[in-house]
Structure 1
Amino acid sequence: MSVNSHLDYLSGKLNLKQDEKDKVKKSIDTLSLRLNSYFNGQLKDHFKFGSYTRGTILPRKADEGSDIDYMVIFTNPSNYKPQTLLNHLKNFVIYYYRSSEIRQSHPTIVLELNHIKFELVPAKRDLWGDIYIPSRTSPFEEWLKTDPNAFNKKLTDANVRYSYQLKPLVRLMKYWNRLNGSYLSSYQLENWIVETFYWNCTSLKDFVYSTFENLNYNFNDPQGYKEKVDRAKKIISQTKEYEQKGLSYSAESEIEKLFPDF
């Protein structure tokens, strides 16, 4: 097996299989029905967003932290503060999912089932249709304006532009990130990949090589993360050197240090 065939094989394995998709879809459908029943007339809308809708979510075997982002837009006529809406969602999940793990991770309510985790995000919508979610970091703003699915088109367009290699690349890089402590957020990593220019890349390994060669860190980043990036760059360099010498077995063994099978 060559470097490229190993990466192709692994990126395919990192895609959700049909049985897992079916289980997740059933859980989403059940959640949707229960939201409508519990909050009868109190919701403007609710829907999934994030990596699941982009096709870049990792299977649980590869990432135990994989989750479905789910937005719940309240009518909120009394203009409740974010914590009040978070409490409403918490009461909802306790009512229907009392045997599951439930916790608050501002600005979401985390609901962990056996096969998938949901992050429920309360939101409100103004008269112009703009959506606001609880602010994660600012002590001065309670609500933050957002467009939850805007990034989907950006990623899809880039994936088409690069001959459908970007989504497999994203899954591989999210897997590497997970193996190395998940220092980068899923969105942060995906957005950086989309914003990166890939010159003369045709195969998946070209995109992987280019991604690590362009991956840098800031002065204030943790030393452990810096060391992991440096290690990855050295492995990529060594892999390319083995390939140039015609040592395909050694090249494959080297790249597996970054992307082991699971």
Structure 2
Amino acid sequence: MMNVNGYLTRLANNAIIRDAEKDSITRSINTISSRLNSYFDKEIGSHFIFGSYTRGTILPRSMDQKSDVDYLIQFSDSTFKPQTYLDRLRRFVNANYPSSQIKQSNPTLVLELNHIKFELVPAIETFFDGLKIPASQSSFNDWMSTSPNDINQSLIRVNKNNNNLIKPLIRLMKYWNAKNGYPFASFELEKNVISQFDYVLPGLLGYQSLENKLYTAVEGLEYSFLDPNYKVNAVQRLQNNIRSIKDERAAGLDDLALMKIKRIFPENNSLISSLLSRGL
């Protein structure tokens, strides 16, 4: 009979973008790259994907309607404010994807295709500050420095040191986040999980399970009472439920614990149907 760890493991392993969808996304990435080069020519320098798609922590859209692929476009000139470059990207999208939905989601431009959203991020590079992307609206600055794929190396190391359980753990936490109105920004949640397990040295741990990693990650979630009520309530509710599940597991009430974990992380029926239809 399936227990809590078995259920979480199955759910996390299914919460990935499958081959057919991945092939479609790859074709779109290649098309965007080609069209950017053709449209902008020497107006742009490097451009590349980054973010959760490159880390293997992106969720299928059936589990997260905000799932998107981040695409950075570095402009050759660096003298303007972010909106100038966003306007250039909007003209590019209008010219190359006239039937697709686009919207500005400060400080990026979102291109919505049938299978996935692309978040187009303008960037500039300066001698002293390196690569910079638009700052959030709440910032007093127009630009902020970035090293977009540095976190990837941290995740590779931490995931390896934790028996390859951190990537599936992140997918579970992002699924909970999406189900609860996004109390955390996706990137911040990923960084939170990685930092919690970054201290672990390989070989010093005994038996490891996704279930125990989840308990640790949930207990480590933090909030401020300056945060909006929905975020505070979501975190408190999750932490209370996990404490209850741990108590039930310790008391041998595995069926009750499994029922409760399924309420927090419900089965994704549309994904299961898709997998079954393909014999997976």
* Structure 2 residue ranges without an equivalent (≥5): 269-280
User: Is contact 2:16-2:59 (8 Å) kept?
Assistant: yes
Sequence identity (%): 44
Aligned to 2:213: 207
Structure 2: how far apart are the matches of 1:156 and 1:139?
Answer: 30
Q: Following the alignment from structure 2 to structure 1, what is the Cα–Cα distance between the partners of residues 102 and 176?
A: 28
- Mapped to 2, the partners of 1:254 and 1:226 lie a distance apart of 20
Give the SS at the match of 1:61. Answer: coil
Within a 5 Å distance, the mapping from 1:112-261 to structure 2 comes to 112-127=112-127, 130-137=130-137, 140-197=140-197, 202-261=208-267
Q: Which moved more, 1:127-136 or 1:227-236?
A: 127-136
CA distance in 2, matches of 1:227, 1:138: 23
C-alpha displacement at 1:135, in angstroms? 2.1
Cα separation, 1, equivalents of 2:140 and 2:184: 25
In structure 1, the partner of 2:63 is 62
Go from structure 1 to structure 2 and tell me whether the alpha carbon gap of 1:138 and 1:10 turns closer, same or farther (over 3 Å shift).
Answer: closer
CA contact (8 A) 2:107 2:137 kept: no
Deviation at 1:138, TM superposition (A): 5.9
- For 1:225 and 1:134, locate their aligned partners in 2 and report how far apart those are by CA, in whole Å: 25
Q: 182-191 or 200-209, which moves further after superposition?
A: 200-209
Structure 2 CA distance for aligned equivalents of residues 148 and 139 of structure 1: 19
Q: Deviations over 1:219-244 (max 9, x none)?
A: 11222222222221222122222222
Moved more, 91-100 or 125-134: 125-134
Residue 11 of structure 1 aligns with which residue?
Answer: 12
Q: Tell me if 1:73 matches 2:74.
A: yes
TM-score by length of 2: 0.88
Deviates more, 1:185-194 or 1:120-129: 120-129
Asked if the contact 2:43/2:76 (under 8 Å) is kept, the reply is yes
Letter of the structure 2 residue corresponding to residue 136 of structure 1: S
The reply on whether 1:34 has 2:60 as its aligned counterpart is: no
TM-score, scaled relative to structure 1: 0.94
Alpha-carbon distance change, 225 to 134 in structure 1, aligned in 2, over 3 angstroms: closer
User: Does the Cα contact within 8 Å between 2:25 and 2:115 map onto a contact in 1?
Assistant: yes
Residues 140, 64 of structure 1: alpha-carbon distance in 2 compared, 3 angstrom cutoff: closer
Aligned-residue RMSD, C-alpha: 1.7
Tell me how far apart the structure 2 counterparts of residues 129 and 142 of structure 1 sit (CA, whole Å). Answer: 13
Shift of 1:139: 6.0
Deviation string 1:12-53 (CA, Å, 9 cap, x unpaired) is: 111111111111111111111110111112111100001111
* Aligned mates of 1:114, 1:100 — CA distance in 2: 8
Q: 1: CA distance between counterparts of 2:248 and 2:138? A: 49
The SS at the match of 1:110 is strand
- Given the alignment of the two structures, is residue 24 of structure 1 paired with residue 30 of structure 2, yes or no? no
Task: Give the corresponding residue for 2:105.
Answer: 105
Residues 237/139 of structure 1: CA separation in 2 closer, same or farther (3 Å cut): closer
Shift of 1:140: 4.4
The change in CA–CA distance for 1:61 and 1:142 in structure 2 (over 3 A counts) is same
CA contact (8 A) 2:184 2:231 kept: no
Structure 1 gaps of 5+ residues are none
